[in-house]
Amino acid sequence: MKKISLLGATGSIGIQTLDVIASHPNEFNLVSMSFGSNVKSGIDIIKKFKPKFVAVKDKDTYSLLIDTFGSGDITFHYGQDGLIEAAVFDDVDILVNAVVGSVGLVPTLKAIEHGITIALANKETLVTAGHIVMELANQYNVPILPVDSEHSAIYQCLQGEDTKAIDKLIITASGGSFRDKTRDELKGVTVEQALNHPNWSMGAKITIDSATMMNKGLEVIEAHWLFQMPYEKIEVLLHKESIIHSMVQFEDYSVIAQLGTPDMRVPIQYALSYPNRLPIHNGNRLNLSEIGLLHFEQMDFDRFRSLYLAFESGKSGGTMPTVLNASNEVAVAAFLKGQISFLKIDEIIEKALDSHANITHPTLEQIQEVDKLTRTYVQSLIS
C-alpha cells in the first residue's frame, strides 16, 4: 500500500488522481491533501477519502473546515506552511504535486529532502528552478516521475533504454483551441473561445497556455530537466489528434512512441504504480482503424511566439525561465480576468524577458526574488 499526499486535490489533475486512488483501494491510500478555495468540492473529498491532514490556501477556508469537521481525527492547516506540511506529512511514499504555478516549488523541494518520491504534474516547478530540483533529487536519490502526458510517454519509451543513445525527443502538441487560426485572426478572441480545448479538459491556466503554445514551451523546458537533454535535441511536432503522446528517436533512427486515447488518468496512474502497470477503471481502448488517419505538421515559431520565447529562455538558462514562467502566470491570470487581450500575453512575456538581466547560476533565494520582481513588473505593465 502506497501512502499518498496530493497537492491541488480539487483541480483537474487532482480529481483524476483521486479517481485512480479510489479505483485501486488496495494499492493507494490518500493520507494528506491540499486545495485552494473550492470548499464544496474539498469537503466532499475529505468525507470520501478521510485523509489525516488537510491544508488550504487561506485562513477563512481553514476556519470553515474547522467548523465543519471539528478538531477530531483530521489536522487542518493553511498558507504556504500548510502546503509544505501537507507535502511531507507522515513521510508519505509519493507526493502528487498538482497545484498550478510556481507555488509548487518549495513543497517539492521539502518532499525531496524527506526522500519522498515525486509524481510531478506541476510543470512550473521545473521551469522556474529545474537545476535546483534535479540537483536535490539526485543528492537524495529521489525519483521525479512525470505526470504530464508527454513526459510520461517519453519516460515509458525510455524504459530499458540507454539515454546516451537518444538522438532526439519528439514532443507532440495538439495545437490548442486556436490551432487553425492565423496570428491576425487571434486579435479579438475571447476567454470563452480560448478555454474551449479540442482534445483535453483541463484547468483554466493550462488551457490558455495550450492556446498560446506556452504549455508546449514549458514542457520543452520540463523535458530538458527531466531527461537531461540539450535543447537542440528536443523537437515539437504538431499532432492534432493527441493519440501519440510523444516519441523518442534513437541514434539508429529507430523511433519509439507511446499511444493511447487522451486520458490523463493513464499517466497519473503510471506515475503512482511505477514500475508496475495496473488496469484503468472505465478507460477507452485505442481503436486505430476507427481513427484511420493521424496528422503531423512542423511547428511554426512565428505563429506561436510563446514557444520561441520558451526555447530561447531555456537555452539562456539561469533566471530567464523564471521570468518566462512568472510573467506568463501573471499575464494569463490577467487575460482570464478580461484585463488584457490574448495577443498581449506573448507581448508582455517578451517585454519582461527583454528587461531582465540574467543571473546564470541562481540560488533558490535569487529565483524567488526574480519571481517576485517579475510579477510586480508585469502587474505594472498591465495596470
List residues near ligand NAD by CB under 6 A. 8-14, 34-36, 38, 57, 83, 98-100, 103, 121-124, 148, 200, 202-203, 205-206, 264
CB of 242 to ligand NAD, least distance (A): 11
Q: Toward Mg ion, which CB reaches closer, 190 or 196? A: 196
Q: Toward ligand NAD, which CB reaches closer, 36 or 217? A: 36
Task: Give the per-residue contact string, 316-355, with Mg ion (x = CB under 5 A; - = no).
Answer: ----------------------------------------
Q: Toward Mg ion, which CB reaches closer, 136 or 154? A: 154
Got the DSSP string for 152-190? Answer: HHHHHHTTT--GGGEEEEEEEE---TTTTS-TGGGTT--
Q: Toward ligand NAD, which CB reaches closer, 100 or 171? A: 100
CB of 148 to Mg ion, least distance (A): 4
- If residue 378 lies in a helix (H) or strand (E), which one and from where to where? helix 364-382
CB of 162 to ligand NAD, least distance (A): 27
CB of 374 to ligand NAD, least distance (A): 18
- DSSP label at 92? -
Kindly report each contact of residues 120-123 with a partner whose C-beta sits within 8 Å and lies 24 or more positions away, as own/partner.
Answer: 120/144, 120/145, 120/146, 120/147, 120/148, 120/271, 121/8, 121/13, 121/96, 121/97, 121/147, 121/148, 121/268, 122/7, 122/8, 122/97, 122/98, 123/148, 123/218, 123/219, 123/222
Q: Toward Mg ion, which CB reaches closer, 4 or 121? A: 121
Per CB under 5 A, the segment of 46-54, 88-96, 148-156, 190-198 that binds Mg ion is: 148-156
| Contact residue for Mg ion among 148, 209, 222, 371 (CB under 5 A) | 148
Q: Toward ligand NAD, which CB reaches closer, 35 or 270? A: 35
Which among ligand NAD, Mg ion, none contacts residue 41 (Cβ within 5 to 8 A by kind)?
A: none
Nearest to 328 by CA among 383, 367, 382: 382
CA-to-CA distance for 191 and 188, rounded, in angstroms?
10
Which among Mg ion, ligand NAD, none contacts residue 238 (Cβ within 5 to 8 A by kind)?
A: none
Q: Which residues contact 360 (CB under 8 A, 6 or more apart)?
A: 317, 318
CA-to-CA distance for 34 and 276, rounded, in angstroms?
27
Which among ligand NAD, Mg ion, none contacts residue 319 (Cβ within 5 to 8 A by kind)?
A: none
Q: Toward ligand NAD, which CB reaches closer, 139 or 379? A: 379
Which among ligand NAD, Mg ion, none contacts residue 362 (Cβ within 5 to 8 A by kind)?
A: none
CA-to-CA distance for 322 and 279, rounded, in angstroms?
38
CB of 221 to ligand NAD, least distance (A): 12
CB of 328 to Mg ion, least distance (A): 15
Q: Which residues contact 232 (CB under 8 A, 6 or more apart)?
A: none
CB of 252 to ligand NAD, least distance (A): 31
Answer whether 120's CB lies under 8 Å from 147's CB: yes
- If residue 210 lies in a helix (H) or strand (E), which one and from where to where? helix 204-212
Interface with Mg ion (CB under 5 A): 148-150
